[in-house]
Structure 1
Amino acid sequence: MTATRVITDRYLVGTRLRLRRADFSDGGCELKLTQKVPMRRSGAVQGLITNTYLSSNEYDLLASLPAAVLSKTRSSVPPLGVDVFGGHLQGLILAEAEFTTDEEAQSFVPPPECVAEVTHDLRFTGGRLVEASRQDVLEWLSEYGLRPE
């Protein structure tokens, strides 16, 4: 079964923090504050991630801070999370595989439907995409031989 949720990420200005609101198709909602610290190793290894789950009041207070906003709809098709972006990134679709161990990540083979592998391209992380213009993203995609309309 595919789970779908609408995600609004607020990248708090001047920090490495992301405030996330995920609205699930069943009416549920998840609110959390996340910090991601990349690993300085080669290969597909996960960095350090810290999540703090928030109440509505905590979320509302933090949402009042200056932030750059990114919106997307995520469908979970294990082991992939498929993100369809909205706003200035309308039309961009990225899939991210999630694993519990580094070994699983290193042995993953993307399905044939994947048209470009951008795992090691930091420009395609949320923190960079939120600051990128549509033209920036189109130029980055062209480096992979993709010519979106």
Structure 2
Amino acid sequence: MTGGAGGIRGRWGDPGKYAHVERERRFLLAVPPAPSAVTDTRTIDDRYLVGTRLRLRRVEWPDGGREFKLTQKVPVVRPGAVQGLITNTCLSSAEYDLLASLPARVLSETRFGLPPLGVDVFDGPLRGLVLAEAEFTDDEEARSFVPPPECVAEVTDDSRFTGGRLVETSRRELLRWLAEYGLPRATS
């Protein structure tokens, strides 16, 4: 079936009814950003709820501030910056705690603001992965974006470097993928 935003419709109904188009490009970096270049820092724990397209996010800032969100992502399978449709719902702490009791796979990272990029440095089995994202409001802005020189390779069209895939990735797989992009240094 077709219909709704972007012509996506099917067993999940019309995912575009409350969603907006997500436009982003992703890049690998060889190293985390220099602290002097960082404008803000926060830690992120993403819980990918098993058997769903839902992500439960907890964000914590150094000053103790917190943010909780439930996100649904409906991906599109086509190259380029349009990643699909995204719907976010802000949650209270109690709502987050209730949903956090559901089975999930967890992905943890520290996000550094390095305008125009958000740079994620991952923990656990993904340590050594430094992934930058730039978000855009329209297609022309996405197409004309020139990544800064610290971006080693663009991985926008490599679905292995999406949160939903990374949360299932083993250390061995990650090291193999990074080596494909000339980044074997993450072997520790």
Q: Is the pair's TM-score, using the shorter chain for normalization, greater than 0.5?
A: yes
Q: Write the distance in 2 (CA, Å) between the matches of 1:91 and 1:142.
A: 12
- The equivalent residue for 2:155 is 118
Q: With structure 2 as the length reference, what TM-score do the two structures score?
A: 0.76
Q: Of the two structures, which has the highest relative contact order with CA contacts closer than 8 Å and spacing of 6 or more? A: 2
- Deviation of 1:45 (Å): 1.9
- Deviation of 1:52 (Å): 0.4
- The equivalent residue for 2:131 is 94
Alignment of 1:73-112 (within 5 A): 73-112=110-149
Q: Write the distance in 2 (CA, Å) between the matches of 1:77 and 1:67.
A: 30
- Deviation of 1:40 (Å): 3.6
CA RMSD of aligned residues (A): 1.3
Which one is further off, 37-46 or 110-119?
Answer: 37-46
- The equivalent residue for 1:145 is 182
Q: Write the distance in 2 (CA, Å) between the matches of 1:98 and 1:76.
A: 12
Q: Write the distance in 2 (CA, Å) between the matches of 1:58 and 1:107.
A: 40
Deviation string, structure 1 residues 83-103 (Cα, Å, up to 9, x no partner): 010111112110001112221
Q: Which amino acid aligns with 2:130?
A: I
- Deviation of 1:145 (Å): 2.2
Deviation string, structure 1 residues 18-55 (Cα, Å, up to 9, x no partner): 00000012221000000111234432224211000001
What is the SS of the residue equivalent to 2:151? coil
Mapped contact 2:80–2:156 kept (Cα < 8 A): no
Mapped contact 1:76–1:82 kept (Cα < 8 A): yes
What runs of 5+ residues in structure 2 fail to find an aligned partner? Answer: 1-37
Aligned residue pair count: 149
Q: With structure 1 as the length reference, what TM-score do the two structures score?
A: 0.94
From 38, 49, 65, the equivalent of 2:102 is: 65
